[in-house]
Structures are given as C-alpha cells and as structure tokens.
C-alpha cells in the first residue's frame, strides 16, 4: 500500500468548514483521514507554516493541442498548471481541428492519460466548427465525458440557435459556457473603448459589446432554461445583470480572470502598447475592476478562471492591431490573488479555496473534487503564504511568455501540487 502523511499544515476546506492545523493521511491515492494528529508509520512530509487545501481547478484554459502546439500543448500546459498549483484544468475547444465531436474529446482524454500530470477536462464546442449554426451532439459528448460546452473565443451570435442550445442544455443537464461579445460593437477594436483608447489612437471595444449579450442571454435562459455560465466577465454592467438574475433564482453563474481583477486599461499606456495587455474581453476601467473585486468577495461572482491563452512570442511581437488576443495565467493566478486579496485581508483563505476549488467543482459536478472529505481522491494544493517571488515568465513551464505581470513581486506561492495522491510538482 502506498501511504503518505502530510503533517502540520493549516488545512482549509470550506466543504467541511475546516480551518485548523492538522495532518492528512493518503492511502493509494485517496484521502483516508484528516485529523489533529495522525500517529502512524508512513512517509511523512512536514508542512508547518504552509496552507493545505483541496486541489485548485481552472475552468478556462487554452492548451492549443491539437493544431497550435507551437503556442502550447497538453503537456506544457499541464506542467504550467502544476506549477501554478492547479490539479484540474478545463481545456477549451478552439483548437484545430475544433473539438466538436466525440473522437476529438477522446483524443484529448487519451493524451491526458498518457501525459499523466493534471486532470484535464475537455470542453467541447457548442456548435459544429464553432460556426454557430448546427448544434454538436450533446448526448454523445456528455457520454464521452465533457463537462461543459462552449464556443469560447467567439460569441454565439444567433439567439435562435442559443435558444435551442439552452433547451438541450436543460435536457442533458450540461452547462453552456458563453463568451459574450457582440461583434458588431467590438468590430476591429483592440482595447476598451473610452477616452484612453481615443487618446492612444487604438480602436475600442465598448463594455456594451459584452453587456448587451449578457442581458440577451439572461433573458433567453429565463425563458428557455438551461445552465448558463458566463466566461471572463469584464464589466460592472455585466456583473450587475448577472447578480440580479442569480438573486431571482436563475440557473446562471460567472467567472472573472485575475487580470480583470487587478489591471485596468491604463496598462496599455503604462506598458507602452505592449501586446501582453491585449486580450478579449479587454481590460476596462477602475470602476469595472473594483466592482469585479467586490463581486468576487461577496459571492456575486462564482469563481476565478485564468483564460490561459498562450501565443508564440513571434505572434505577439507585432503592432498592437495585429497581435492575437490573449495572455497566459496559470503560473501567476494564485500569487496574484493571494498577494492582492488574501494578504491584505480583503478575502479570507476559506473564500479563496471556495473560488479556486470548491465552487467550480460543485458547479460542474466534478465528483469528489473541491473537497478534502475522507474517501475522496487526494487532489491537494499547498501554498506557502510567506514565499516571495518576482514573476519571471522566462522561467515558466508554459511555452508562452505573454503576460503583463512580468516583474510583479508577489507574496503567497504554491509549493506543492498533489494529484491522485502523487506529488506531481514541488518547490519546497
Ligand atoms: O483573449 C482571448 N484569447 N480571449 C478569447 O476569448 C480567446 C482566447 C484565445 O483563444 O486566444
Ligand atoms: Zn473567451
């Protein structure tokens, strides 16, 4: 039997309302005991001064395989996840070919099994070829193991199509993840539309491009049902509308990225038009950023997701207008939120675990994840709340370097990632 004891960490598990110092015994990949002190003979790791929590889950990453392996692949993405403290990652379907059928899903799952690093949950496309015309085979995809459907990267333009998709979502009990953007507003825009975009001479993407679609789709969900999750919301208006719908009992949820929580449109200027500030949706105003932070703390926003969007340095090293949208996030999300929210006590450690693990697990029905309950699988993240490091993308496990957080000094970093009882990465 394979046994491991993790000793003396502060164990935080909101699913059992645990926040105390103790030990954990892992046997054959399962958590078998959580207690104040475990006196048994087994390999023991001393975690005094560290914080131990259920494994973190990112519901929004782009690992680019198949088709764009020069940006990232399932292995490099998984390594980036482990270093970021993540034990599970959802991978989006906008690859080449697009993952819009069971064979594509099987490919991702088989590769993930071979790589054997983090748990990879494929998100399949909502429409064939992500063209917004023909539904994918919800039932067959669910049977193959997809956790959600999404055309992320592009919006669902046709409301009649989305209406059908929502009716199927309801029937198959399968969440739909929506990337909200009305292309007629965003057009050729590259940053938030406002006074700053005008002064910088860059075309803008107004907040209403997102808000009008959020409002439309809340209305569709209200009338036709389905399970709706709004990806990467960026504006106060989107948040207000979603919060109201949630309060009224609609089956909707939303996520926010670390960059929308910590940066504003101003960095486009501050970083001198660096294309590492270009992503979709764009960074918005201080008012938006602050509203999103409040929403994350008070529960109106369900959780944090990275929208890890790797691009090759050569693709980003062009004029602002021509660079692809997206930045990487897996290796910085935890220290960013720890340093800016947990350390200054804007957010409790328990809420941190909720938004990085428990809530995504519950929302997407990931059985046995997001918790440290006895007899569940031992997916565990350990954070050192005192570790200080400067973000250095050149040392990332990701193939990509496109982050606006280079040089940020942050306190609170993951130091150990355990998946299925196995230590897959550590830096102790
Ligand atoms: O910035 C983004 N990059 N937003 C998206 O929606 C897609 C993503 C990508 O795939 O690069
Ligand atoms: Zn998106």
The model's pLDDT over 236-263, given as tens digits with 9 standing for 90+, comes to: 999 999 999 999 999 999 999 999 999 9
Q: Which of 207, 201, 202 is nearest to 186 (CA)?
A: 207
Q: Which of 307, 339, 379, 384 is catalytic?
A: 307
Written as one string, the DSSP assignment of 312-369 is -HHHHSS-GGGSPS-B--TTTHHHHHIIIIITTTSS-HHHHHIIIIIHHHHHTT-TT-
> Which of the listed residues 130, 177, 307, 315 should we mutate to test ligand 1's pocket, taking the one with most ligand atoms within 8 A of CB?
307
Cβ atoms of 53 and 350 within 8 Å: the answer is: no
Rama region for 158: left / alpha / beta (φ>0; ψ in -120 to 50; rest) = beta
Ligand 1 pocket check for 78: Cβ under 6 Å? no
Q: So what's the pLDDT on residue 2?
A: 87
Residue 315 Cα to ligand 1 midpoint, Å, equals 14
Find the range with the poorest average confidence among 1-5, 11-15, 124-128, 164-168. Answer: 1-5
Nearest ligand to the CA of 63 is 1
Percent of the chain whose pLDDT exceeds 90: 100
Binding site membership of 326 for ligand 1 (Cβ less than 6 Å)? yes
Q: Say what the pLDDT of residue 95 is.
A: 98
92 pLDDT exceeds 90? Answer: yes
Closest atom, ligand 1, to C-alpha of 94: 10
Q: 401: Cβ below 6 Å to ligand 1?
A: no
Residue 285 has pLDDT above 80, yes or no: yes
Cα(280) to centroid of ligand 2, in Å?
7
- Full-model pTM: 0.97
pLDDT at residue 83 tops 80 = yes
Q: Please work out whether the CB of residue 153 comes within 6 Å of at least one atom of ligand 1.
A: yes
Q: Are 299 and 373 in contact (CB under 8 A)?
A: no
Asked whether residue 1 carries a pLDDT value surpassing 90, the answer given is no
Tell me whether the CATH fold assigned to 3-51+376-426 matches the one assigned to 55-363: no
Contact partners, residue 160, CB within 8 Å, separation at least 6 = none
Using DSSP, state whether 420 is helix, strand or coil. Answer: coil
Mean pLDDT of 347-367: 98
Place of tokens 């207000």: 240
The confidence band for 266, taking pLDDT boundaries of 50, 70 and 90, is: very high
Atom of ligand 1 nearest to the CA of 311: 11
Homologous superfamily assigned to 55-363: Metal-dependent hydrolases (3.20.20.140)
Q: How far is the CA of 228 from the centre of ligand 2 (A)?
A: 14
What pLDDT score was predicted for residue 278?
98
Complete DSSP assignment for 49-94: T-EEEEPEEEEEE---TTT-TTT--HHHHHHHHHHTTEEEEEE-S-
Distance CA 416, CA 82 (A): 8
Q: In the predicted model, what is the mean pLDDT of residues 12-34? A: 98
**For the chain, domain boundaries:** 3-51+376-426, 55-363
Share of the chain above pLDDT 70, in %: 100
pLDDT of the residue at 255: 98
Q: Please state the atom number of ligand 1 nearest to the C-alpha of residue 92.
A: 10
User: How many residues would you count in the chain?
Assistant: 428
Q: Is 224 in the pocket of ligand 1 (CB under 6 A)?
A: no
pLDDT for 360-414, tens place per residue?
A: 999 999 999 999 999 999 999 999 999 999 999 999 999 999 999 999 999 999 9
3-51+376-426 falls under which CATH superfamily? Urease, subunit C, domain 1 (2.30.40.10)
Q: Mean per-residue pLDDT for 183-189? A: 97
On whether the CB atoms of residues 62 and 326 are closer than 8 A, the answer is: yes
- For residue 31, how many C-alpha atoms fall within 13 Å in the half-sphere facing its CB? 24
If 0-12 CB within 10 Å is exposed, 13-18 middle and 19+ buried, where does residue 56 land? buried
């Amino acid at each position: 039997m394979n046994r491991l004891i993790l000793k003396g960490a502060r164990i935080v598990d909101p699913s059992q309302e645990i926040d105390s110092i103790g030990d954990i015994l892992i046997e054959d990949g399962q958590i078998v005991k959580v207690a104040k002190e475990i006196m048994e003979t087994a390999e023991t790791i001393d975690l005094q001064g560290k914080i131990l929590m259920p494994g973190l889950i990112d519901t929004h990453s782009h690992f680019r395989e198949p088709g764009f392996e020069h940006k990232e692949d399932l292995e490099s993405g998984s390594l980036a996840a482990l270093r970021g403290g993540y034990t599970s990652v959802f991978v989006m379907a906008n690859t080449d070919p697009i993952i819009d059928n069971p064979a594509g899903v099987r490919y991702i799952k088989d590769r993930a099994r071979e790589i054997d690093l983090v748990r990879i949950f494929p998100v399949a496309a909502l429409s064939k070829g992500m063209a917004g015309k023909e539904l994918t085979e919800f039932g067959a995809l669910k049977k193959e193991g997809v956790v959600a459907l999404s055309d992320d990267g592009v919006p669902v333009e046709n409301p009649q199509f989305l209406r059908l998709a929502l009716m199927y979502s309801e029937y198959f009990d399968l969440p739909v993840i929506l990337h909200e953007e009305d292309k007629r507003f965003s057009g050729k825009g590259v940053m938030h539309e406002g006074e700053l975009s005008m002064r910088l001479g860059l075309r803008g993407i107004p907040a209403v491009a997102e808000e009008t679609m959020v409002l439309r789709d809340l209305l569709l969900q209200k009338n036709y049902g389905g399970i709706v999750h709004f990806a990467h919301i960026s504006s106060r208006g989107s948040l207000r509308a979603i919060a109201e719908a949630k309060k009224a009992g609609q089956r909707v949820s939303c996520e926010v990225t670390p960059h929308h929580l910590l940066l504003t449109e101003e960095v486009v200027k501050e970083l001198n038009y660096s294309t590492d500030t270009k992503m979709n949706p764009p960074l918005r105003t201080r008012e938006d950023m602050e509203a999103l932070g409040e929403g994350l703390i008070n529960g109106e926003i369900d959780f944090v997701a990275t929208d890890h969007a790797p691009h090759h340095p050569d693709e980003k090293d062009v004029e602002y207008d021509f660079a692809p949208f997206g930045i990487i996030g897996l290796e910085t999300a935890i220290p960013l939120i720890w340093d800016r929210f947990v350390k200054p006590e804007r957010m409790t450690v328990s809420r941190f675990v909720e938004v990085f693990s428990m809530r995504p697990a519950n929302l997407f029905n990931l059985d046995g994840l997001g918790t440290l309950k006895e007899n569940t699988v031992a997916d565990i993240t350990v954070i050192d709340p005192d570790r200080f490091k400067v973000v250095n993308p050149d040392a990332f496990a990701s193939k990509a370097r496109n982050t606006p957080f280079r040089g940020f000094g942050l306190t609170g970093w993951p130091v150990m990632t355990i998946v299925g009882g196995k230590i897959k990465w550590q830096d102790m």
